[in-house]
Structure formats: structure tokens, C-alpha cells
Amino acid sequence: MHPREQTIFALSSGRPPSAIAIVRLSGPLAGTVMASLAGKKLVPRMAARVLLHDANLLPIDDAVVLWFPGPASATGEDVAEFHVHGGRAVLAALFSAFSTFENVRAAEPGEFTRRAFENGKLDLTEAEGLDDLIRADTDRQRRQALRHLKGMLGDRVRDWRAQIIEAAALIEAGIDFSDEGDVPSELIGPALARIRVLLSEIQEVLAAQGKSERLREGLVVTIAGPPNVGKSTLMNQLARREVAIVSPHAGTTRDVIEVQLDLDGYPVTVIDTAGIRDTEDPVEQEGVRRARARAAEADLVLWLVDAEQESLREGAAPVWVVRNKIDLYAGKSHKAGSAIDLAAAAQCGVSSGRGGDEADFGISARRGDGIAELIEALVGFAQEYFGSGEGGLIGRERQRKLLQETALSLDRSISVVGKGEELAAEELRMAVHSLGRLLGRIDVENILEVIFRDFCIGK
Ligand code: GDP
């Protein structure tokens, strides 16, 4: 039997042990397996408490089970859901009972969602939204993912695609007429007008987008500066704050290289370049390699200096000068931020959220003075970077690229129509193709491999 026709199972809830574990079974044998384990047939969509047995009638667990006959199920196939006690041995016994059935096997990552997609339960933008929702750490990530899962991009794309197909049909009808002379302008005119409207709608979505696809990965801020200015101390200070949502990825037990902060719903990763050092440990090396690569692409650099030092640094990313150890110089006034740093920040459209000559920061990483203000300014930076609007329709680079391709094809169709309607019609077909890829109607195999491979097992 082809693997795609086999019945698959997986743990869909979190890592055991847990109070309850949810195991799903999807495919043609789901009903048979469930009835066999439960010892009776179940009423669709009604929770039932049963004592599950294996083939030798030995008890597995006291469970709550649900039966969702396809196609009205999450995957579109027959689905059985087992709510068992979340112990490892319980799960092992349940999985081994499943495996005694031929053509029942453990699911691959993302395989449930893939089947849902293949059965038309979701389009690709919705499947991507589902994956993002599961991975969302912050509230804004959650809201954006939910918009995708609810099909907000997919619905727009389907509407655009239908309209382009209609416009193309008008132009092609015109071409058919053209044996009898010029293509009737009463067909081409309305088609072109419609394409112009569509083009401006798509361009609006692209422009209004800000950088919201970066919400998935978050902003990267690095802490850099000369040795001994207190970079690691600042990092530890940040990691200790309540805002640190994810346990710091420690490169070693000594140093925190990266912490992830939830700044008003925006995910921000702070990297301590002092923590990046050469090491023999292969696991640590991988962490260091990743931190280096990410630091190189920082969206913002916090350039730490000793409060008494004069220090400038120029780079691609905006730079904020942070003067540390102000506790040592209490009473003395520290110097204002340099013009170059401010200009660099301004060039990148960044404002620290603080006014004029106050634009650098004075902190004591050791005592915690000024840290709240620094965090507040980082929130302002994130707000400005992502744009405050809720309107982000595009969640991934893949989606943005395909929309850009669509806009280009539409634009070309307008400009080539004078040279021949066939050329315009061909461009419109390309636009339809790009939108089809966005929804996952075309090139399905290739895209699916890439997208679903990153899914969790059990999804
Ligand atoms: P790094 O090399 O930039 O990571 O610097 P560290 O964080 O290791 O700090 C170097 C030294 O400066 C340590 O002894 C810290 O305790 C000290 N230090 C860091 N921040 C402060 C501060 O705000 N005030 C004072 N007085 N000392 C600090």
C-alpha cells in the first residue's frame, strides 16, 4: 500500500510525562483500530470513556476517545483521537497496539497537516499559518499566524486569481475576434482597467506590509563594544528580567550568548558578542557559529562603552551608544551621544524614542540603573520596525516573493498589450501561475517537501 494511503498515528500533545496525552490516528483503518481497542463502535463526535485493550485483551489504559469519520475531520480522513494518561509506558503500549495492524504506522512530521492540505481542508497559506501558530512565542506572532490560519491571505489571493482569469478571458476572447480585424477595444479596455485595479491592490498589500514577515524570526539586537565594558553583565541583566520568555540558549554554562525577549509582543533576540568565543566543544561550536551569523545581520547594535570613554562605531545596522558603569561616575555628567551614531540611526529610519541630545543611554548593568529605559526604547524600535498596523497579510518570504512576481507580471501585461494581446495574455497566465503557487495549487510536491518537513510530528 502506498504510504499516503496508510493509516498514521502520532502523539499530538506535549512531551510525556504529562497528565493527559492526546494521540491521533488518521486514515482508512482509524475506525477499525479504534473499535478493536475500545471493544465497541463509537458515536461520531461524542466523547466516550472506554477501557482500551490490546489484541490479547490486556488492558492499556482507561481513556476518553473521540471518533471523527471523514470527510468532516481535521485531515479529511477518518480520525480517531485517544486521550490517555500521559505516561511513557502508556503511550508505548498504545503505539505497540496500533502497530499490530498492518498498514498502520507512525506519522512523519507535518503529515496530518499535509493530508488536510491534500484533502482540501486548508490551502498552503493556511497550513503555513498553522505551523506559525504552533510556534508563536509572543502575542503578535500569535495574532499574525491566526490571520493566516483563518485564510485572510488565501481569500484575497483566490479573489485576485479569479479576477485575473476573467481579465485574461476577456483579452483572449478579443484575440479570437481579431481574425476579423483589430481586437475590439471594448474587450481590452475593461480588462486592462481591471488589471490596473488589481495591481494597485497587490502593491498596496506589499507596501503596507512593513516587515511583518520578520515577526516569525524576530528582531536581532547585538551587544558589542570593547572588552570589559560590561556586555555580559548587561546580557545577564536582560536575561534576568521578566521579559525573557524563552530559556536563554547558553553556549556554555558560563555565558549566555542569546536571550529572547518578548517586548510588548514583539520577539527580540539579543546576542552578546562577548559570549561568542572559540571553543573546542562541537555543540558549543554550533551555537557560536549561529550566534556569529546572526550577529552579522543584526537589526540594531547596542554599542557599549565605559561611561567615561569616547567611542564611535559605524556599521550597516543602526547603532545606539550605551554608556555603562554610571554607578562609578555618579555625580559626573556623562557626554551626549555622538552625531555619527545619531545620524546612522536616523538614516535607517530609527528613533530611539528619546529626544535629541538624550539619544544615548547611561546605565549600570551591574545595579540595573537605566535598564528599564533601555528596554522601553527597544520596544519603540520594534514598533517602528514592524509598523504598528495589524494589517500584515504576508507572513513569509515565500508569500512576499510570489506576490511580487504577480505584480511584475500584471505590470508587464499592461505595458506589452500595445505590442500584442497574446503577450499580455501570456503575462496574465504567469500572474495566475504565481498566485496558484502561493495557494499551493501548483508545484505542489516541491513546496510541500520544504514546508512540511519543518512541522512538528503529530501535526
Ligand atoms: P564584557 O567583557 O564586556 O562582557 O564585560 P563584563 O560584563 O565581563 O564586565 C567586566 C567587568 O565590569 C566585570 O568585573 C563587571 O562586574 C564590571 N561591570 C559590568 N557592569 C558594571 C557596572 O554597571 N558598574 C560597575 N561598577 N562595574 C560593572
Ligand 1 pocket test, candidate residues 223, 228, 304, most atoms within 8 A of CB: 228
Quote the cell numbers at residue 294. 546572526
Strands 219-224 and 266-272: parallel
pLDDT in tens, 22-80: 999 999 999 999 999 999 989 999 999 999 999 999 999 999 999 999 899 999 999 99
Mean pLDDT, range 75-95, rounded to an integer: 96
End-to-end Cα distance, the chain: 22
Residue scoring higher pLDDT (189 or 197): 197
Whether the CB of 371 sits within 6 Å of ligand 1: no
Q: Which pLDDT does position 150 carry in this prediction?
A: 83
Q: Is the CB of 440 under 6 A from ligand 1?
A: no
CA–CA separation, 12 and 75 (whole Å): 13
229 lines ligand 1 (CB under 6 A): yes
| 315-345 per-residue burial string, b: 16 or more CB within 10 A, e: under 16 | eebbbbbbbbbbeeeeeeebbebbeebbebb
Residue among 342, 343, 341, 337 nearest 323 (CA): 337
Which atom in ligand 1 lies closest to the alpha carbon of residue 324?
23
- CA-nearest residue for atom 24, ligand 1, is 325
Grid cell 492540505 is found at 117
Q: Which amino acid is at 87?
A: G
d(C-alpha 267, C-alpha 249), whole Å: 15
In one-letter notation, the amino acid at residue 397 is E
Give the pLDDT of residue 145.
85
Nearest CA to ligand 1 atom 12: 230
Q: pLDDT above 70 covers what percent of the chain?
A: 76
CA of 324 to the centre of ligand 1 (A): 8
Q: Which cell is 344 given? A: 546612522
Least confident of 110-124, 160-174, 199-213: 199-213
Residue nearest to atom 10 of ligand 1 (CA): 228
pLDDT digits (tens, 9 = 90+) for 377-417: 998 888 888 765 555 788 788 888 999 999 999 999 999 88
Taking a C-beta distance cutoff of 8 angstroms, is the pair 199, 424 a contact? Answer: no
Contact 321, 305 (CB under 8 A): yes
Point out the ligand 1 atom lying closest to the alpha carbon of residue 272: 4
What is the four-CA torsion angle of 136, 140, 143, 146, rounded to 10 degrees? -30
pLDDT classification of 451: cutoffs 50, 70, 90 = low
Cα of 229 to ligand 1 centre, how many Å? 6
**Could you give the C-alpha distances from 191 to 186, 188, 197, 428, in angstroms and in order?**
9, 5, 10, 11
Ligand 1: which atom is nearest the Cα of residue 364?
Answer: 23
- Dihedral sign of CA atoms 119, 125, 131, 133 in order: negative
Q: Are strands 361-362 and 18-26 parallel, antiparallel or unpaired?
A: unpaired
Neighbouring CB atoms inside 10 A of 116's CB total 21
Instruction: Write the CB contacts of 257 (distance below 8 Å, at least 6 apart in sequence).
Output: 248, 249, 250, 251, 271, 272, 275, 276, 287, 288, 291
Identify the three-state secondary structure at position 128: helix
d(CA 30, CA 69): 9
Residues 6+ apart with CB under 8 A from 241: 261, 371, 375
What is the overall mean pLDDT for the chain? Answer: 80
Angle formed at CA 187 by CA 183 and CA 188, multiple of 5 degrees: 75
Check residue 333 and report its DSSP letter. Answer: P
- Among residues 357, 439, 365, 355, the alpha carbon closest in space to that of 402 is found at 439
The number of the ligand 1 atom at minimal distance from the alpha carbon of 328 is 26
To the question of pTM greater than 0.85 for the whole model, the response is: no
For residue 322, the CA-to-ligand 1 centroid distance in Å is 13
- How far does residue 282's CA lie from ligand 1's centre (Å)? 28
Mutate to test the pocket of ligand 1, among 234, 366, 367, 374 (most ligand atoms within 8 A of CB): 366
> Ligand 1 within 6 A of 308 CB?
no
Residue located nearest, by CA, to atom 9 of ligand 1:
230
Find the 237 Cα to ligand 1 centroid distance in Å. 11
**Of all protein residues, whose CA lies closest to atom 22 belonging to ligand 1?**
325
Cα 110 to Cα 114, 127, 221, 419, 441: the distances in Å are: 6, 10, 32, 47, 18
**Atom from ligand 1 closest to the CA of residue 275:** 4
CA of 129 to the centre of ligand 1 (A): 43
Handedness of CA 334, 340, 346, 348 (dihedral sign): negative
- Alpha-carbon distance of 7 to 28, in angstroms, equals 6
Q: With 60 as the cut, is the pLDDT of residue 373 above it?
A: yes
Residue 411, sorted as left (phi over 0), alpha (psi -120 to 50) or beta, turns out to be alpha
